Amino acid sequence: MRFHTTLSWLASCLILGTTIYSFPLQAEEVELNHLLRQGREYVDAGNYARAIAIYQQAAQLDQENPRIFSGLGYLYTTQGNFGAATRAYQRAIILDPDNASFYYALGYNLAQIGDNQTAAKAYYRAVNLDPLEIKYHLALGVVLLREKDYESALVTYQRIIALDPENIQAQEILLSLLISQGRTQEAVEFLGTNATYLADNLELQLELARTLLNQKQFKVGLETLAAIESQYPNDPEFQVKIAETWQENNYLEAALQAYQRAIQLQPNFSKAQSRIAAILMQQQNYFEAIVAYRRLIELNPNDPDNYYHLGLALQQRNRHPEALEAWQQALTLYQQQNNQEGIKTIESLLETDENTSR
């Protein structure tokens, strides 16, 4: 999370927050006015280190002005001195305990030093003081997630979406939280209501489908997966991810169809071709597996695994000479790659085949 504040905002805080005294002035007031003008000049010039020194002097002269301390806190923040900024904002809050922006800035600096729990308290106070300011809720949500307080984070992101219904990032986080907390029915309903905004986040939608299937909510899980599938009919990468979800849940025919659609869209998609061949082997459809592995070898002629699996498929069809030829090619490639495990596997197959032939 970034602390979005401009130099013009800083300058206005320092100007508006400090009193420019009118005549007649005491000597101390004259000095304070002079320091404040100097400080603003250094800020405008980008000399923050010198500005800090000036405002420290001003704070000594006027220890009851919260804006001097908040301005000092901001200057410390720009320098990455979050501890000093924290102390400055704490002083500003003592002087002005109902200023939401002070709590927001305090929360930011506390979060920067890793004190997320106290940062959350500061952000909660900012939210209570100004419940319509969305950036306070967003900041609170971040530290709650860091603290793994997912229930509180869920409530916070629900409020964010109520304030900003088209906030896609908040919607994605809320959907993720609902899934991770096992509130899948709410997740399904939320996805249905916000499908337009969440259409581009395939991973999150797939995660929901996977969760539903893992929870044995097969009807809703399959409906969710089918709905996702229909959204991406022309994207081979998405089709592969959808196919993987089908495959993970042992829906091999559906997975095979999705992989095949990916191949139709991108004929040289070797990842999809490899998965097709593996499923055909799992289904003991050795004839089509042979065709699939031969196509895969065309795409990746230097991958010994393809020759190895082709040999296995050929062996199952009792095409032993062709199987031996495939394994010999696999052995050569494994040797070139110094793949000892692959070499051992192929040598064992060749030895077994030789003994069987005898």
In the chain, how many domains are there? 1
Token code pair at residue 118: 């106290």
Q: What is the pLDDT of residue 355?
A: 53
DSSP secondary structure of 252-308: HHHHHHHHHHHHHH-TT-HHHHHHHHHHHHHTT-HHHHHHHHHHHHHH-TT-HHHHH
Range of the domain at 331: 290-358
pLDDT above 50: residue 11: no
The owner of tokens 């089509």 is: 288
Kindly state the average pLDDT of the residues 294-303. Answer: 95
Hey, is 72 helix, strand or coil?
A: helix
336 part of a folded domain: yes
SS3 166: coil
Give me the pLDDT at residue 151, please. 94
302 found inside a domain = yes
pLDDT of amino acid 18: 41
Give the per-residue pLDDT at 284: 95
User: Poorest-confidence range of 23-37, 236-250, 267-281?
Assistant: 23-37
3-state secondary structure of 182: coil
Lowest-pLDDT range of 138-152, 195-209, 266-280: 195-209
Asked if residue 309 belongs to a domain, the reply is yes
C-alpha radius of gyration, the chain, whole number: 33
Which residue type does 49 have? A
- Domain-embedded: residue 66: no
146-189, pLDDT tens digit by residue? 999 999 999 999 999 999 998 989 988 998 898 888 888 888 88
The closest alpha carbon to 312, from 281, 354, 276, belongs to: 281
d(CA 178, CA 356): 58
How does DSSP classify residue 99? -
CA quadruple 57, 61, 62, 63: dihedral sign: positive
Give me the pLDDT at residue 269, please.
94
Are the C-beta atoms of residues 293 and 310 closer than 8 Å to each other?
yes
For the segment 260-279, what is each residue's pLDDT rounded down to a tens digit?
Answer: 999 999 999 999 999 999 99
Is residue 238 situated within a structural domain?
no
Residue among 12, 30, 11, 10 at smallest CA distance from 20: 30
Q: What are 179's two structure tokens?
A: 């899934």
Residue at 54 is within a domain: no
Residue 342 lies in a domain: yes
Residue 325 in domain: yes
- Residue 201 — very low, low, confident or very high, per pLDDT cuts 50/70/90? confident
Please give the model's pTM, rounded to 2 decimal places: 0.63
**Res. 92 pLDDT band, cuts 50 70 90:** very high
Q: Comparing 352 with 106, which gets the higher pLDDT? A: 106
Are 175 and 190 a contacting pair, CB within 8 Å?
yes
Best mean pLDDT range from 12-21, 48-57, 247-256, 314-323: 314-323
Those residues whose C-beta lies under 8 Å from the C-beta of residue 167, and which sit 6 or more positions away, are 134, 160, 161
CATH number (domain holding residue 332): 1.25.40.10
Q: For residue 319, what pLDDT band results from cuts at 50, 70 and 90? A: very high
3-state secondary structure of 118: helix
Q: So what's the pLDDT on residue 33?
A: 75
Place of tokens 């993987």: 244
Check whether 5 has a pLDDT greater than 80. no
